[in-house]
């Protein structure tokens, strides 16, 4: 959530940057400033009234000792009336503070200056491309046919057990899935990320902390009886480790990684783009999360991008990095880079990772702070990225590595799978 200080320092710039995301923020920003002015006035009145009452109350004992009982009783009555007046001020102050917070929750993060203007994915900028582009010929099979041919994934069985979007991995398919998870975790550990095994359900406070609520409640699975949400990504529980925490500056950065299943309703998704592993309701992912000092966060972002790029290079997949335009960014991010791999049989690019810097937006919601050398507390910057999401990686690996003899397993995975070809 944006801070009041950000908004008050330069409201015109905030409105201008919000427009890059396609958000018309003029009225809401003006209303926030108006309410904050009212809040400050109420706070001053409340403080003055409290000081006045304390002075009156302190004088009652002295009047009683002096035998001025009538004056003491009048003072008591004035204190009682004053407390009622102060309560009315305090109630209005609390209502105003709630109104400000409710408004701020509706305002997305402002994109940083590097974010290009644009309204959709068509306006994203391709930054760099790498990896070998396979030439499979016209007889190449898409991954859903390969999965059936080699008995790796059963999509129909998933429908039977649960519903569409919940595949069942079988035999070498399950082992390849597990190999990818372990490979991603091992590489994250080598890069200095501390592994976390988080819960798969979170409470409402955690959803608000990282910005899934109130923006994405329609995309999240909700357990009504317990008021808990199934996680859409490990980002949510891992980042919330630092909710209401003040971190000593010397302990930064915090670098965590986590494997989890992820659950997304994907409401409104349909058509050929959701076939096979392209879009699921449950999928596996390894996430990397960093908590940084503001001055270090963009260097950390570059490190995270290099980490994800290294994974794709090890897997031998064709990839490119997109710098997302304002209209294609998430509600909470200040800048996002998407990694896509090329699916040779489908002849299309598939997103496999988003790496984002949220600057202070999540930290302000989370009250995630560090104590600096000046002994004061400051908001941290939070970052996260997929390293990597498995379904489309699996799809590209199956399609791009198909040969007449079978599907060749990338060398970096063979010590985990125990086999070098699927046939």
Q: Of 423 and 54, which is predicted with more confidence?
A: 423
Crossing angle (nearest 10°) for helices 297-315 and 172-190: 140
Cis peptide before 214 (omega within 30 of 0): yes
Distances (CA, A) of 335 to 109, 116, 120, 127, 302: 10, 10, 15, 14, 12
Instruction: Give the pLDDT score at 81.
Output: 78
Percent residues over pLDDT 90 in the chain: 85
Instruction: Give the pLDDT score at 379.
Output: 98
Instruction: Give the pLDDT score at 143.
Output: 97
Distance CA 44, CA 166 (A): 57
Query: Using one digit for the tens of pLDDT, what is the confidence trace for 34-50?
Result: 999 999 999 999 888 88
Distance CA 390, CA 178 (A): 10
- Asked if residue 73 has pLDDT above 80, the reply is no
pTM across the whole model: 0.93
Q: Of 362 and 57, which is predicted with more confidence?
A: 362
Instruction: Give the pLDDT score at 272.
Output: 57
Q: Are 228 and 266 a contacting pair, CB within 8 Å?
A: no
Q: How many angstroms separate the first and last alpha carbons of the chain?
A: 51
- Asked if residue 404 has pLDDT above 60, the reply is yes
How would you label 374-403 residue by residue, b for 16+ Cβ within 10 Å and e otherwise?
eeeeebbbbbbbbbbbbbbbbbbbbbbbbe
Instruction: Give the pLDDT score at 364.
Output: 98
Structural domains of the chain sorted by starting position, each given as residue range(s) with its CATH number in brackets: 4-104 (1.10.287.40), 121-422 (3.30.930.10)
Instruction: Give the pLDDT score at 271.
Output: 57
Query: Using one digit for the tens of pLDDT, what is the confidence trace for 214-241?
Result: 888 889 999 999 999 999 999 999 999 9
Determine phi and psi for 387, rounding to 5 degrees: -140, 55
Pair of tokens at residue 5: 């200080």
Average pLDDT over residues 339-353: 96
Query: Using one digit for the tens of pLDDT, what is the confidence trace for 249-289?
Result: 999 999 999 999 999 998 655 555 789 999 999 999 999 99
Query: Using one digit for the tens of pLDDT, what is the confidence trace for 127-177?
Result: 999 999 998 988 899 999 999 999 999 999 999 999 999 999 999 999 999
Average pLDDT over residues 313-333: 97
State whether residue 291 is helix, strand or coil. Answer: strand
Percent residues over pLDDT 70 in the chain: 97
Average pLDDT over residues 353-375: 97
- Asked if residue 342 has pLDDT above 90, the reply is yes
Instruction: Give the pLDDT score at 267.
Output: 67
DSSP state of 107: S
Average pLDDT over residues 333-351: 97
- Asked if residue 6 has pLDDT above 70, the reply is yes
- What is the band of 85 on the pLDDT scale with cuts at 50, 70, 90? confident
Instruction: Give the pLDDT score at 87.
Output: 87
- Asked if residue 61 has pLDDT above 70, the reply is no
- Asked if residue 76 has pLDDT above 90, the reply is no
The continuous run of DSSP H or E covering 35 comes out as helix 26-65
């Amino acid at each position: 959530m944006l801070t009041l200080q950000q908004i008050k320092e330069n409201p015109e710039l905030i409105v201008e940057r919000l427009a890059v995301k396609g958000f018309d923020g003029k009225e809401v920003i003006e209303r926030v400033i108006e309410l904050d002015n009212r809040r400050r006035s109420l706070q001053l009145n409340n403080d003055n009234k409290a000081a006045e009452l304390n002075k009156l109350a302190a004088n009652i004992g002295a009047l009683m000792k002096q035998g001025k009982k009538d004056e003491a009783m009048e003072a008591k009555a004035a204190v009682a009336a004053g407390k009622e007046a102060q309560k009315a001020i305090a109630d209005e102050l609390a209502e105003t503070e709630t109104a400000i917070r409710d408004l701020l929750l509706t305002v997305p993060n402002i994109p940083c200056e590097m974010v290009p203007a644009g309204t959709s994915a068509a306006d994203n900028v391709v930054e760099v491309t790498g990896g070998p582009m396979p030439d499979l010929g016209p007889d190449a099979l898409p991954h859903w046919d390969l999965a059936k041919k080699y008995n790796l994934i059963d999509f129909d069985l998933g429908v039977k057990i649960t519903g569409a979007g919940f595949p069942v991995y079988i035999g070498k398919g399950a082992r390849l899935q597990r190999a990818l998870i372990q490979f991603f975790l091992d590489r994250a550990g080598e890069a200095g990320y501390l592994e976390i095994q988080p819960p798969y359900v979170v409470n409402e406070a955690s959803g608000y902390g990282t910005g899934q609520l109130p923006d994405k409640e329609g995309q999240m699975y909700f357990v009504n009886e317990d008021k808990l949400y199934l996680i859409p990504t490990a980002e949510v529980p891992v980042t919330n480790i630092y909710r209401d925490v003040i971190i000593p500056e010397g302990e930064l950065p915090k670098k965590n990684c986590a494997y989890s299943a992820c659950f997304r309703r994907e409401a409104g998704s349909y058509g050929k783009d959701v076939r096979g592993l392209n879009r699921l309701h449950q999928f596996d992912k390894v996430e990397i999360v960093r908590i940084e000092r503001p001055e270090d966060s963009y260097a950390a972002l570059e490190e995270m991008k290099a980490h994800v790029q290294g994974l794709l290079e090890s897997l031998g997949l064709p990839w490119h990095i997109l710098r997302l335009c304002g209209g294609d960014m998430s509600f909470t991010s200040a800048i996002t880079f998407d990694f896509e791999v090329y699916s040779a049989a489908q002849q299309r690019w598939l997103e496999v990772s988003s790496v984002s810097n949220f600057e202070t937006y999540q930290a302000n919601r989370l009250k995630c702070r560090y104590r600096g050398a000046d002994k004061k507390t400051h908001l941290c910057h939070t970052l996260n990225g997929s390293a990597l999401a498995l379904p489309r990686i699996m799809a590209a690996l199956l399609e791009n590595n198909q040969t007449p003899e079978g599907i060749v397993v990338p060398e970096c995975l063979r010590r985990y799978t125990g086999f070098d070809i699927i046939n």
